[in-house]
Structures are given as structure tokens and as C-alpha cells.
């Protein structure tokens, strides 16, 4: 597969994802009680992603991008596993709450790079830190389990 074709296909995939997120972001309110609502950030991020995908597609058609080739088998497997881990996180988020689902997700990501106990420690610290920042300090309602975290 030639370089230009790879770039165009990848930009189309990112563009499709951006459009999907943009459409779903329209389901949320843009106005909240005291300011911007829950739909503002997903809409803005998906719009930025859409713009970047279109600009990359234009660059690809001009033949000025920097893509050398598709990822090898190991790279594709890594990408696939990250997508599987993200799906596991989404499935576990409601029953386990944000802290435990975050620990599982991060542990799965880190387990190949660190010893299991280091990966578990980093996962727990990051997940608890994010929970404290968002739930306690910013008062954002995160999914919680029966134990309150």
C-alpha cells in the first residue's frame, strides 16, 4: 500500500470517529446551571478532531505527510489491545465505579512496561488522585460503586 493511500485511509477513519463523537455530543445540553453545560467540552473536542482530520487529509492529498508505512503486526496488536482495554473500562465503569475501573484500565496498560506491583501501584495512585480532583475538588459526579468510590 502506498504512502498516500495509507494517509488518506487513516484520515478518513479519524474523520469518521470525529463525526460520530460530534453527533453524540449534540445529545448533551450546552447550557448548565451556572455556566457551560456537559455538551460543550465533547462538542469542542470533536470539532477540533474533525478539523485536524480534514487538514491531515488535505496534507495527504498533497503528498506532504510524514507517514512511512502501516504499523507492523506487533503495532497493530498493541492498538487493538488498547481498544479492548478501553472497552473493558467502559463495561466496568458503572458496576465498579470510576476508581476501580480506572485501576483495572491503567493496570492493563502498564502491566507490560512495569512489574505487576509497580503497575498496580501507579494505577491505584493515578485513579485515586483523579477521583479526588474531580469528585472532591471540582464536585463532578463520577460513577461510583456501592462503597462510594
pLDDT tens digit sequence for 34-46: 777 778 888 999 9
Residue with the three cell numbers 481498544? 83
Give the containing element (helix H, strand E) for 52: helix 40-62
How is residue 80 written as a grid cell? Answer: 487493538
Provide the strand spans (E) within 1-149. none
Among 106, 131, 130, which residue's Cα sits nearest to residue 118?
A: 106
pLDDT confidence of residue 30: 83
**Predicted confidence band of residue 70 (pLDDT cuts 50, 70, 90):** low
**Widest Cα–Cα separation across the chain:** 55
Map residue 95 onto helix, strand or coil. helix
33 SS3 class: coil
Distance CA 82, CA 66 (A): 24
Predicted confidence at residue 65, as pLDDT, reads 66
Q: pLDDT band for position 68 (50/70/90)? A: low
Q: Which residues contact 22 (CB under 8 A, 6 or more apart)?
A: 43, 46, 47, 50
Amino acid at each position: 500500500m502506498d504512502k498516500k493511500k495509507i494517509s488518506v485511509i487513516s484520515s478518513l477513519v479519524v474523520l469518521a470517529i470525529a463525526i460520530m463523537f460530534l453527533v453524540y455530543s449534540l445529545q448533551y445540553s450546552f447550557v448548565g446551571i451556572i455556566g457551560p453545560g456537559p455538551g460543550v467540552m465533547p462538542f469542542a473536542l470533536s470539532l477540533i478532531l474533525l478539523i485536524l482530520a480534514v487538514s491531515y487529509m488535505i496534507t495527504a492529498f498533497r503528498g506532504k505527510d510524514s507517514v512511512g508505512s502501516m504499523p507492523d503486526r506487533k503495532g497493530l496488536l498493541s492498538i487493538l489491545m488498547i481498544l479492548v482495554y478501553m472497552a473493558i473500562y467502559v463495561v466496568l465503569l458503572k458496576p465498579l465505579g470510576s476508581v476501580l475501573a480506572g485501576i483495572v484500565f491503567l493496570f492493563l496498560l502498564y502491566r507490560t512496561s512495569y512489574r505487576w506491583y509497580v503497575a498496580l501501584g501507579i494505577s491505584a495512585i493515578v485513579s485515586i488522585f483523579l477521583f479526588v480532583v474531580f469528585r472532591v475538588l471540582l464536585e463532578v459526579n463520577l460513577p461510583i460503586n456501592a462503597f462510594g468510590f
